[in-house]
């Protein structure tokens, strides 16, 4: 009970985080093959405040977002966070942005493949940026009988990979690593544990990546099994001096 | 444009349907093995009205629902509809109720299996009741390698079956028909068309069922394939004189 | 039971509808202010078939879709349906496409407003096209106290309007009609019935619209109330000879 | 890059967490007024493992869960975690359980009110249990005009409160605290910041609660505003020696 004694003094009940969430916003993101790609994002923006906040400041988040016209890249990400921190006089600024990314490729049945992407950036004393992709995994066709369509054995599960990086990495290249990990020494998906280890091995071997988290989920009958694995340090916090945007 | 000329006379802009939706409600449903089962339903109730409706009547829907204490069976379903029709002076009364049904069985990895159920009843001059179940289909284990867990090949897709019936049918027995259809002359799921036909053949052979609709969906990479099939007449409309509750 | 006797002959268990669903696809739609707008759609395509269907034909749906590079307008909609009907030798072809449409406008707090759009086209002997928009309704600010932010009284509910039309209508103009109906002789939203009638009156007065359906939903505590209204005839079916694309 | 050097040695790519997710399961929870309440939960169970995990152990999670027949209370929660830790030889065991809780009360339009509940327990050296409720907030009726139904001004937003406690607390009592905070010195909801502070003040004054987190969200037009506040220490981690079940 002593833990929160000090909160009982009204003046010290401070708001920790304040912001706007679930803004649906058309954005332009970088595309390795076609330079840019237009898609639709969901945006969350918030700050940590040491002091009382006036509700009328809420519109500033949107003003800052609008100034960048939906152009999302590492540079604009940093500048939006910097403006949030400055204009709202905050200790830390956060932005989360989530969007479907469409990967062009011949071998996909529909010519294009939807990958869920998420970027979560924080600016406190240093920058921190996490990029995350979620890739559906389908049951392999290797075992299919004649007359059974490719991909028609259903959905095996999902791979979600989050990374911090010490130099720029294309979404396509991160997707490439994930696919390498999925297919590594396994003609078809066996277990969440094996796939998690394979993904960890492949991702850890990329020198651009300084930290990663892998979650593999398999849709079984009545439940899902999952396994997760984390590797690497966190730049900007453990003092390794490598910021996400350097 | 002439089509809606008559609507331009304000007095003739009549509300066609009015009601309440998305009531989350604890219910008791019939269970073949254990007599009753408690679960949580989402309920929609609405009426067709030939005349203007007073908003203050909206609470009557809830009053009627409350009088039955969440006991959902063919008899209470009919009585709720009758009360709606009477008390709201309506031409037709409708109730939709959706709930997860838990099927006990030994061979399921978790001892119990969740099936989505939906009942949609209408009372106009005669009764009409449609029961619907949605059953997930998992990739079969027949092809699994040693060391691969049962069910771990992922989710193949979904089967949704709607039926009208001319005598009482247990949810368990409808689930049984669906499973017979899924596994009929096919050691593993091949195509949505084959599975739809198998299901149609099995369901059509049950004399309790007077009408059915089957939709089979397969989760492929980037899209889902589906096929549907309908069979039988509609009692109470095509004058076959068999009502859902007889 | 006689109803489905004929289905018990295996050769006559015919698939009624077959197709692909839930294709996530980047599309370009028409925008009154900016000529075109890029967004992300979910696409369903299916046909009615009088005969057995070969699963290997499933990829034709996607091939047809890809040929149009995601350019969605009344003309391409018709041509896609025509190709589906021809190449799959079908009695009827259907396409449903759903996407967020971003409306630019100054008075919106975020400069842009997301509206859910849906187009559902059928080609049988004649064309039939329904356009649908879903517009969120927010509690009005008229009653807000000083210091209360515009829009901060929460979400009142949702308006969904579906229309058939006898000449081209911009999504912006349909949104305009809906907003006129929401605010018509009501300084703030009162009841689902009043708003449904107001919307019906406004939409019925537009000569471009030959049929409409309005559904208004209000989020109350523990449930939602709703009312719906339909007006106008259905071109191409009731023989009024006005097709959606003429 | 050095960060993850050690991971490049295959033998050291360890799985951190492994388990089962999204089990839909009928449960019995404690109810202050009626002793027990039957509802439907979603269950996640996982462990932290320092060593390689055999996939065949996955079924043990389910076996442990089944042994308790869905009876969820503080005592069974602890015993399930202890069995998971023991039988899977794990460093830590986790269980998350989420369910709708139905609160009986006269003043609710539907006689019962649905509250989302979540319990997240961890057993490492000591126990840690967080209970969370999410309560919808509706626009107040105080400002409604004659003829406007109670609750019909729509949904203002959502309050989510998570707590750790040093003696048993009923779900009803936690809901009571939240309602006290929502209505505290505010005839109607003003801003997310004011409501967050009011909630913080009320919750901090309950001696049963040793830690809390409050998140208030308001549905505005095109986005949601939110504010959050945290108070109190974490028993079992900061050495205050108060475990969640003592």
For B123-157, write each residue's pLDDT tens digit: 998 999 999 999 999 876 544 444 445 556 789 89
SS3 content of chain B, % helix, strand, coil (to 5): 25, 40, 35
Domain A1-102 = CATH 3.30.470.20? no
Summarize the confidence of residues B35-40 as an average pLDDT: 94
- Cβ of B139 under 8 Å from any chain A Cβ? yes
- Local structure of C183: helix, strand or coil: helix
Contact flag A229-D15 (C-beta cutoff 8 Å): yes
Q: Coil, strand, or helix at residue B207?
A: coil
Q: For residue A97, name the pLDDT band (cuts at 50, 70, 90).
A: very high
**At D107, is the pLDDT very low, low, confident or very high (cuts 50, 70, 90)?**
low
Judge whether residue A53 has pLDDT over 80.
Answer: no
With contact defined as 3+ CB pairs under 8 Å, the chains touching A are: B, C, D
Cα three-residue angle C5-B160-C119, rounded to 5 degrees: 110
Position A38 scores a pLDDT of 94
Q: Which of C8, C16, C24 sits opposite B228 (nearest CB)?
A: C16
- Probe site for chain A from D6, D12, D21, D57 (most A CB atoms < 10 A): D21
Residue D50: per-residue pLDDT: 72
Please report the DSSP string for C22-66 in residue order: EEEEEEEEEETTTEEEEEEEEEEEEEE-SS---GGGHHHHHHHHH
Q: What mean pLDDT do residues D142-152 have? A: 49
| B107, closest residue in chain A (CA to CA) | A221
Tell me the average pLDDT of chain C. Answer: 82
Using the Cα atoms of residue C85, residue C89, residue C94 and residue C100 in order, give the sign of their dihedral.
negative
Q: What is residue B54's predicted lDDT score, i.e. its pLDDT?
A: 65
**D64 or A191, which is more confident?**
D64
Per CB-CB distance under 8 Å, the chain B contacts of D108 are none
Average pLDDT of every residue of chain A: 82
Backbone phi, then psi, for C59, in 5-degree steps? -70, -15
Minimum mean pLDDT range among A175-184, C154-163, D120-129: A175-184
Contact state of A149 with C56 under an 8 Å Cβ cutoff:
yes
Q: How far is residue B153's CA from residue C83's CA, in Å, rounded to a whole number?
A: 36
| Position with higher pLDDT, A104 vs D43 | D43
Torsion of CA C172, C174, C175, C181, to 10 degrees: 150
What is the band of D81 on the pLDDT scale with cuts at 50, 70, 90?
very high
Residue A245: is its pLDDT beyond 70? no
Distance CA B212, CA B193 (A): 16
B225–A138 C-beta distance less than 8 A: no
Chain C residues with beta carbon closer than 8 angstroms to that of D225: 149, 152
pLDDT at A185: 59
C66 contact partners, CB below 8 Å, separation of at least 6: A110, A111
The DSSP code for C187 is: S
Structure confidence at residue D106 as a pLDDT band (50, 70, 90): low
CB contact at 8 A, C90 and C84: yes
Q: Which long-range contacts (CB under 8 A, 24 or more apart) does A58-66 make?
A: A58/A18, A58/A20, A58/C149, A58/D225, A59/C109, A59/C149, A60/A84, A60/A87, A60/A88, A61/A19, A61/A20, A61/A88, A62/A20, A62/A23, A62/C109, A62/C110, A62/C111, A62/D223, A65/A23, A65/A25, A65/C110, A66/C110, A66/C111
- In this prediction, residue A186 has a pLDDT band, given cuts at 50, 70 and 90, of low
User: Where residue C108 falls among pLDDT bands split at 50, 70, 90?
Assistant: low
Classify C45 in phi/psi space as left (phi over 0), alpha (psi -120 to 50) or beta.
beta
Does residue B65 carry a pLDDT above 70?
Answer: yes
pLDDT in tens, A212-235: 999 999 998 889 999 999 988 544
Measured in angstroms, the CA of C92 and the nearest CA of chain A are apart by: 23
Mean pLDDT (chain B) is 82
Range from B102-106, C68-72, D80-84, D204-208 carrying the lowest mean pLDDT: B102-106
Q: What is the pLDDT of residue C5?
A: 43
CB-based contact, B3 to chain C, within 8 Å: yes
Per-residue pLDDT, averaged over A190-217, amounts to 92
Residue position matching structure tokens 């799985």: D15
Torsion angle of the four alpha carbons B101, B105, B110, B116, in this order, in degrees rounded to the nearest 10: -20
D126-246 is classed CATH 3.10.270.10: yes
User: Which stretches does DSSP call E strand in D167-223?
Assistant: 209-219
Map out the domains of chain C as residue ranges.
Answer: 1-102, 126-246
Residue with tokens 């549907």: B228
- Within D32-84, strands assigned E span 35-48, 71-72
Residues in chain C with CB shorter than 8 Å from the CB of D114 are: 222
For the segment C205-218, what is each residue's pLDDT rounded down to a tens digit? 999 999 999 999 99
Q: Do domains B1-102 and B126-246 have the same CATH topology?
A: yes
pLDDT band at A47 (very low <50, low <70, confident <90, very high): very high
Are A164 and A235 in contact by the 8 Å Cβ rule? The answer is yes
Task: Output the pLDDT for position B42.
Answer: 97
Residue A191 touches chain D, beta carbons under 8 Å: yes
Closest CA to C226 of B45, D166, A46, B28: B45
pLDDT of A120: 97
């Amino acid at each position: 009970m002593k833990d929160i004694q000090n909160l009982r003094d009204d003046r010290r009940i401070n708001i920790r985080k304040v912001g706007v969430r679930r803004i649906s916003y058309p954005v332009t993101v970088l595309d390795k093959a076609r330079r840019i790609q237009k898609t639709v994002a969901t945006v969350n923006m918030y700050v940590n405040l040491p002091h009382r906040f006036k509700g009328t400041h809420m519109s500033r988040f949107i003003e800052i977002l609008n100034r960048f016209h939906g152009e999302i890249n590492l540079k604009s990400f940093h500048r939006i966070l910097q403006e949030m921190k400055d204009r709202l006089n905050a200790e830390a600024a956060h932005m989360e942005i989530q969007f479907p990314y469409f990967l062009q490729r011949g071998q996909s049945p529909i010519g294009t493949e939807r990958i869920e992407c998420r970027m979560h950036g924080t600016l406190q004393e240093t920058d921190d940026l996490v990029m995350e992709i979620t890739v559906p995994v389908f049951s392999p066709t290797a075992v299919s009988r004649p007359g059974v369509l490719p991909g028609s054995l259903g959905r095996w599960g999902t791979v979600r990979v989050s990374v911090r990086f010490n130099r720029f990495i294309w979404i396509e290249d991160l997707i490439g690593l994930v696919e390498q990990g999925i297919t590594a020494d396994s003609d078809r998906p066996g277990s969440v544990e094996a796939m998690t280890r394979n993904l960890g091995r492949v991702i850890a071997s990329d020198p651009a990546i300084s930290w990663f988290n892998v979650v593999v989920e398999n849709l079984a009958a009545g439940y899902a099994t999952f396994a997760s694995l984390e590797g690497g340090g966190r730049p900007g916090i453990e003092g390794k001096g490598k910021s996400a945007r350097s």
